[in-house]
């Protein structure tokens, strides 16, 4: 593997101590965030002065800084976030990691040279995602944590931008960016960095008590598989973890990368002692998705972490070689050379004029001793790194030696820092129209719930492609397909084939649930409609979909109806007027675990009957669970959003029908016509 270019090792830092530990352990880059606008709101994070200082320090040391601004943003927050972007970019940040497409568009508008990385919250799963993201100004995509080795290989072969993958740390059971459970049941949004982790709680199931809690990821045993792929960056999760954890984990991966090998059994046990949940899992990567992936933080795990031995070091210094010339009648000359990442930096300074010694001449050893006092600078030197050429009878005050040492360090630091001209643009807030629409649209999980009344009432109806193909819907021009939200590169041919089949049957409309579907649907001549899963929170993100040719977009249900009504866009905007919204999209089949199924996954036909399973939490709240394409699952909220009795100020109404019987669908339509008040449990937005 000598010819393989090593990927960047990217470390987390939720505090200044963790950042210093990451650098000392050998990280090539560190990702961290400001106090606001990042997906780890409960981490210490960095104030304005701290983050500028941290970025400059990393830049001088040759370590990259990737700044996390990866939450969804309200319109009123966008320009504060833009000012934060200005702050970190002027400080020398190497990249900004963002999930909000609106913020990304503003950063590229005012800082076109800025490097943007698409957060895993963007749901980047395949090459088609990467193509769209490149067109939006991104240079790197953080792949979904659920990606398999074959899919990762295809992505790296064909992606027009860099690919970053997670190799170690916590796994969300839901695809990132597609989890609303914490938001809808507790008001703490994962898309805002406030996740309360309901997936880690117990549920009342026949099969297991913790069907949503996954073990942590650890791909240390797959380094030899990963290196030939051309992955740009290996990312370790853990901005909420201690400096000891960061140092320990990064140290292991640094060694594995440098030696081009997989972890040994002892190294895996050491990693587990730092932090694990019943051990580790590589189930997604290895395509071995099973109940063995489940795990919780046990007392044994906690005890192992308390006793784990981590000889943590902090910070990093750059070796400097110095040469001093000291002769009577000449100014003292001091030069220094620093080698950083294969690049040489050289500086030379002149100081006070040395004199002929009248009594005790200064020795070369004394000068060397003072030059070695590098203190709090970023430089270090051993005795053998400092050469002093001195006359036999020369005298100079040590204060003059100290002065040239300080000046040399300052000049070398300035060279290493590579300062560039700062940009302070004047920001202009765009004005967006409010396109009014009184249309009504609906999504049905199963076409069997679709009634004649619904077919007559809704302007646009969407069902999954499989349901369209077998549902006898070709005669209804208002019926389109809702594409599956997740697909890896290895699945795209099948998805495309199904979509082509729907088009051949007369389908002309597509409800787009992810960026990768845009060109696929466009190339088949379909009209594009934006689903709630696109996470539209502000008019700038809505404008992205307008430019991509969408007819309409459904605003995120995490926004209140009043905020949604004020969100401008040049296309029709809609809100969820009724329905149990999807709160999790699972790669792992929880239905099998909930129902204690033991038949091999590839032979499982449990969901072929198009029935719902039900997940009950410790408060006896029940969440419907449906099968998604393949053996994925979608968990829906326990109660429906109900806004049928409210005025919607120019927003079109979108309905989500999950486990409603046909007569219940018709009853909801009547409630909508009459603007009836809700009955039973419901949720407002």
In the chain, where the domains are located: 8-171+216-264, 318-417, 440-674
Q: Residue 230: which of 3, 68, 29, 30 has the closest Cα?
A: 3
pLDDT on residue 598 = 86
Helix ranges, 524-636 (H):
539-547, 561-566, 590-594
CATH topology identical between 8-171+216-264 and 440-674? yes
Query: Is the CB of residue 576 less than 8 Å from the CB of residue 654?
Result: yes
Q: 310 versus 684: which is more confidently predicted? A: 684
What mean pLDDT value characterizes the chain?
95
Cβ-based neighbours of 616, under 8 Å, separated by 6 or more: 203, 204, 205, 622, 623
Q: How is residue 516 written in tokens?
A: 């990768």
* pLDDT-derived band at 37, boundaries 50, 70, 90: confident
Query: What value does the mean pLDDT take over residues 240-257?
Result: 97
Is the pLDDT score of 613 beyond 60? Answer: yes
42 pLDDT more than 70:
no
Alpha helix stretches (DSSP H) within 423-566: 452-457, 465-470, 492-504, 517-523, 539-547, 561-566
pLDDT at 44 over 80: no
Least confident window among 272-276, 328-332, 358-362: 358-362
Higher-confidence position of 212 and 1: 212
Residue 75: predicted pLDDT: 96
- Look up residue 68 and give its two tokens: 């996390």
Is residue 233 pLDDT above 70, yes or no?
yes
Mean pLDDT, rounded, for 34-45: 74
- Strand 633-636 and strand 622-627: the pairing is antiparallel
What are the DSSP E strand ranges found in 522-607? Answer: 527-530, 550-554, 572-579, 582-586
Please write the tens of the pLDDT for every residue from 163-173: 999 999 999 99
The residue written with tokens 């002769």 in the block is 327
- Name the least confident of 330-344, 363-377, 588-602: 588-602
The confidence score (pLDDT) of residue 206 equals 84
Query: What pLDDT digit, counting tens, does each position of 533-554 carry?
Result: 999 999 999 999 999 999 999 9
Contact status, residue 213 vs residue 295, Cβ threshold 8 Å: yes
Extended strands (E) in 328-416: 331-340, 343-353, 355-356, 379-380, 386-390, 394-395
Burial group, residue 21, by CB count within 10 angstroms (0-12, 13-18, 19+): buried
CA distance 450 to 475: 14
State the pLDDT at residue 262. Answer: 98
Q: What is the pLDDT of residues 562-594, one digit of tens each?
A: 999 999 999 999 999 999 999 999 999 999 998
From 3.40.50, 2.30.30, 1.10.3470, 3.20.20, which CATH number describes the 440-674 domain?
3.20.20
Predicted local confidence at residue 258, as pLDDT: 97
Q: Please give the backbone phi and psi of residue 615, each rounded to the nearest 5 degrees, phi first.
A: -100, 125
Q: Classify domain 8-171+216-264 by CATH number.
A: 3.20.20.70
Average pLDDT over residues 182-199: 92
Grouping H, G, I as helix, E, B as strand and the rest as coil, residue 364 is helix
Cβ-contact 679, 594 below 8 angstroms:
no
Question: What is the pLDDT averaged over residues 631-640?
Answer: 96
The pLDDT of residue 36 is 83
Closest to 485 (Cα-Cα) out of 175, 66, 227, 206: 175
Is it the case that residue 43 has pLDDT exceeding 70? no
Whether 161 shows a pLDDT value over 70: the answer reads yes
Residue 1 has pLDDT above 70, yes or no: no
pLDDT band at 471 (very low <50, low <70, confident <90, very high): confident
Comparison of pLDDT for 606 and 468, the residue scoring more:
468
pTM of the model: 0.94
Whether the per-residue pLDDT at 2 is higher than 60: the answer is: no
pLDDT, tens only, 60-114: 999 999 999 999 999 999 999 999 999 999 999 999 999 999 999 999 999 999 9
- Tell me: the pLDDT tens digits for 390-428? 998 999 999 999 999 999 999 999 999 988 889 999 999
Q: Give the lowest-confidence range in 305-309, 448-452, 618-622.
A: 305-309
Q: Tell how far CA 23 is from the center of its chain.
A: 21
């Amino acid at each position: 593997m000598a010819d393989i270019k090593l990927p960047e090792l990217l470390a987390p830092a939720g505090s200044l101590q963790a950042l210093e530990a990451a650098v000392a352990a050998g990280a090539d880059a560190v990702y961290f965030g400001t106090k606001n606008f990042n997906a780890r709101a409960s981490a210490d994070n960095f104030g304005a002065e701290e983050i500028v200082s941290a970025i400059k320090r990393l830049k001088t040391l040759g370590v990259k800084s990737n700044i996390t601004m990866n939450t969804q943003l309200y319109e009123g927050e966008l320009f504060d976030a833009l000012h934060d972007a200005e702050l970190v970019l002027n400080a020398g940040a190497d990249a900004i990691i963002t999930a909000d497409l609106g913020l990304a568009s503003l950063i590229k508008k005012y800082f076109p040279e800025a490097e943007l990385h698409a957060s895993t919250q963007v749901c980047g799963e395949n090459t088609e995602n990467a193509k769209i993201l490149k067109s939006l100004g991104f240079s790197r995509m953080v792949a979904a944590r659920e990606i398999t080795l074959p899919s990762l290989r295809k992505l790296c072969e064909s992606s027009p931008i860099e690919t970053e993958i997670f190799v170690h740390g916590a796994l969300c059971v839901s695809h990132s960016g597609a989890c609303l459970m914490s938001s809808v049941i507790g008001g703490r949004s994962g898309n805002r960095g406030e996740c309360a982790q309901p997936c880690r709680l117990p549920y009342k199931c026949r099969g297991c008590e913790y069907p949503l809690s996954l073990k942590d990821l650890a791909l240390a045993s797959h380094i030899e598989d990963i290196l030939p792929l051309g992955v740009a960056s290996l990312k370790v999760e853990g901005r909420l973890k201690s400096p000891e954890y960061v140092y320990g984990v990064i140290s292991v991966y640094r060694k594995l990368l440098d030696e081009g090998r997989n972890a040994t059994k002892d190294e895996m046990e050491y990693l587990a002692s730092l932090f694990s949940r019943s051990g580790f899992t590589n189930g997604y990567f290895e395509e071995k998705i099973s109940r063995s992936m489940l795990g919780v933080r046990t007392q044994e795990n906690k005890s192992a972490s308390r006793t784990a031995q981590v000889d943590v070091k902090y910070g990093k210094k750059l070796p400097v070689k110095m040469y001093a010339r000291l002769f009577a009648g000449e100014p003292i000359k001091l030069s220094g050379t620093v080698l950083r990442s294969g690049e040489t930096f050289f500086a030379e300074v002149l100081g006070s004029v040395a004199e002929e010694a009248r009594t005790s001449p200064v020795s070369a050893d004394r000068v060397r001793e003072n030059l070695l006092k590098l203190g709090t600078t970023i430089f270090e030197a051993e005795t053998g790194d400092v050469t002093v050429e001195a006359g036999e009878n020369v005298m100079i005050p040590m204060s003059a030696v100290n002065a040239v040492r300080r000046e040399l360090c300052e000049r070398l630091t300035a060279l290493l820092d590579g300062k560039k001209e700062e940009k302070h643009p004047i920001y202009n807030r765009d004005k967006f129209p409010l396109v009014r629409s009184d249309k009504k649209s609906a999504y049905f999980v199963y076409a069997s719930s679709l009634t004649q009344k619904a077919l007559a009432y809704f302007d646009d109806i969407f069902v999954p492609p499989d349901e369209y193909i077998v549902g006898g819907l070709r005669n209804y021009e208002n019926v389109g397909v809702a594409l599956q939200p997740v697909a890896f590169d290895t699945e795209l041919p099948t998805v495309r084939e199904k979509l082509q089949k729907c088009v051949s049957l007369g389908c002309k409309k597509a409800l787009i649930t992810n960026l990768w579907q845009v060109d696929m649907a466009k190339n088949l001549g379909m009209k594009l409609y934006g689903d709630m899963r696109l996470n539209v929170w502000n008019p700038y993100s809505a404008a992205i979909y307008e430019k991509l040719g969408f007819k309409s977009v459904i605003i995120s249900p995490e926004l209140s109806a009043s905020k949604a009504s004020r969100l401008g866009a040049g296309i029709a905007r809609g809100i969820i007027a009724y329905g149990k919204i999807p709160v999790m999209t699972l790669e792992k089949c929880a239905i099998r675990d909930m129902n204690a199924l033991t038949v091999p996954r590839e032979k499982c036909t449990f969901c072929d009957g198009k029935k719902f399973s039900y997940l009950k939490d410790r408060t006896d709240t029940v969440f419907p669970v449906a099968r998604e394409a393949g053996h994925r699952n979608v968990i829906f909220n326990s109660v429906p959003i109900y806004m049928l009795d409210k005025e919607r100020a120019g927003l079109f109404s979108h309905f989500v029908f999950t486990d409603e019987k046909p007569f219940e669908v018709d009853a909801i339509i009547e409630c909508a016509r009459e603007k009836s008040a809700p009955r039973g449990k419901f949720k407002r937005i």
